[in-house]
Each structure stands twice: as C-alpha cells, then as structure tokens.
Amino acid sequence: MHNNQWLALETSTDTLSLAVSRGTQTWTHTSAGGALTSTHMIPQTLGLLKEAGLALTDLQAVVFGRGPGAFTGLRTACSVAQGLAFGADLPVLPIDTLLAVAEEARAASVTPVTRVLAVMDARMEQVYAAAYEFTPSGLDAAVSGADDAICTLGTWRCVQAPELYSPEALHWPTDWTNDAVLESAEGSVPDAPSAGPVFIAAGNAWPVYAGRWPAALTVPQVMALPTAAALLRLAPAAWAAGAAVPPEEALPLYIRDKVAQTTDERMHIKAQQAEQAAQLAHLNEASKAASPTITP
C-alpha cells in the first residue's frame, strides 16, 4: 500500500466518472453512465490502472461516491469498490457525493469559495442538498503553484447534513442566514461584500426546477457534478479522519427509500451483478499477474 495512490469510482448520476492517482499525477475517465455503467466500468478501470502503471495491490484504498444519488448507480459503485478491495486486500473509502459537488465547484471557481450549498436533482420533484464550509490551510499561499493534483489545500466541514427537499423548501443552514450576503430587509439578496466569504449554490438541479427556488438562493448557482477527480482530492483528508472501512462495511447512503422494484428491475440488477462479478474476477486475476512486473 502506498500513499497518494487511489482509485476513485463515481456513478451517482447519469455520468460514469473514474480516476486514478499516483503521487501528483491523475488519470481520469468520463463517459455516459446509467444503463451503460456496468458494461464500461470494469474495462475502463482496468485501462486507467494500466495507464498509471499500477496494480490494484499498489493502491492505498478504493474510493467511491456513496451517495445520495441514483439508486442503481450507488449500488454499482459500492459493489465494484467492494469487489476490487476484497480481491486486493484493500480498505474502501466512502465519500459523500454532495461533498464531491462542493469540492468540484470550489476547485472550478476563479475566486476563493468558503461556503457551498450542494444541490442535486433527486427526481420525483425533489432535490438532495447539503451544506459545507471550507477552511483554507495556512499552506495555500506557499503552494498555490504546486502540481499536487490531489491536495485540497484545506478542510471541509459539513454544516447541514444531506437531506431531501422540495425545491421551494430548500434553505441555507441556520448559522448562515444572518449574513448580509443572504438577505436584506426587503427580502432581496445583495451581492456578496468583497471582503466577506463567497457563497455559492452548486449542483445540477437549477434548470430542472427553474422558477421554483426561494429568493434566498439567487446567489450564484454553479452547475457542478460529483466527479472521481474531486473524490481523489477529498481522499487524503477522509483517510486521515479515519473514514476508511473494510469492504464488507462499505454501504451506499440512501436519503429516500426507493419504491418497490419491478420484476424487470430485479432481473436487470441480478444480470448486472453477475456481469460485474465476472469482470471483477478477470480484473483481479489480471492485477495479480501484473503485480510482479510493476514498479510503484
């Protein structure tokens, strides 16, 4: 096991996002997910590991976006992470997908971002939402030009746990609502003061429910998806916080119980699981065969 060598899997949306890191280098893959995830995930994972010159046994952990998100996608990422980790005797590192949204929005912002309300479309006229606060580290100025692709240069704190809302009921955390940036006496939302913290609302739900958001959410709304690259940047802090678990203890995070599955859905899931099991067996055998010839 080696530091800063991770495999990240993110399939909580209709996008398949994979990433592998080796030291300061990162390899990524993004493609259509959904029904295609089970077909493409294992071959693309194997390809990324090969590009990075890594075997599964060289990794520190297998990271996955645990949710909330699409039920099938969460099950797929979790089961693949478990299978890979079991075969290579690795721990699994589950990370909230909404935190990955916040990190992706922070990393893409041209101005420093300290507070993010992450909002993802949950369908059925609802959204998943959570709020996070970012504290930059004292090293920011010294390493702002560094090439370390997986360092967040700070720490995230969850101030509003992931929950399910209707668009109209979405709100900022209680301890944020007294800031002048959020509301004025007339109920409008003024621009953020230049010296104050930057607030943004990030996610993929804004155009889906246009016209239904509360007035207090007319602050900048950034389109952002959870990505495997964001999971890699979050992995070191999650690891240091003791979030890694044995494969059998890794579970998806469900915020809303799914309605009963149809017979077709159950058959489709069983077929996916059988296909994934076969691909995982092949991947583990290939990884074991390659291990003696790979220098980390």
DSSP classification of residue 56: G
Who wins on pLDDT, 173 or 65?
Answer: 65
pLDDT for 216:
72
List, in order, residues 6 or more apart from 234 with CB less than 8 Å away: 95, 99, 100, 103, 152, 156
For the segment 14-41, the average pLDDT, to the nearest whole number, is 87
Q: How far does CA 69 lie from the centroid of its chain?
A: 10
Give the pLDDT of residue 279. 62
What residues contact residue 79 under an 8 Å CB cut-off, 6+ apart? 273, 276
Nearest to 95 by CA among 194, 228, 210: 228
Confidence of residue 256 (pLDDT cuts 50, 70, 90): confident
pLDDT at position 208: 93
Mean pLDDT of 268-295: 56
Mean pLDDT rounded to a whole number for the chain: 81
pLDDT of residue 274: 60
Domain ranges of the chain: 5-97+227-293, 98-223
pLDDT of residue 286: 59
**Worst-scoring range by mean pLDDT, 29-43, 150-164, 184-198?**
184-198
**CATH number for the domain whose boundaries are 5-97+227-293:** 3.30.420.40
Task: Please classify residue 220 by burial: count the beta carbons closer than 10 Å to its beta carbon, then call 0-12 exposed, 13-18 middle and 19+ buried.
Answer: middle
Residue, of 179 and 190, whose pLDDT is higher: 179
pLDDT of 236-246, one tens digit each?
Answer: 999 999 999 99
The answer to whether the Cα torsion of 243, 244, 245, 251 is positive or negative is positive
Same fold, 5-97+227-293 and 98-223: yes
Residue 213, SS3 per DSSP: coil
The CATH class of the 98-223 domain is: alpha beta
Cβ(168)–Cβ(205) below 8 Å: no
Q: Per mean pLDDT, which range of 9-23, 199-213, 269-283 is the poorest? A: 269-283
| Coil, helix or strand at residue 63 | strand
Q: Mean pLDDT throughout 213-218?
A: 79
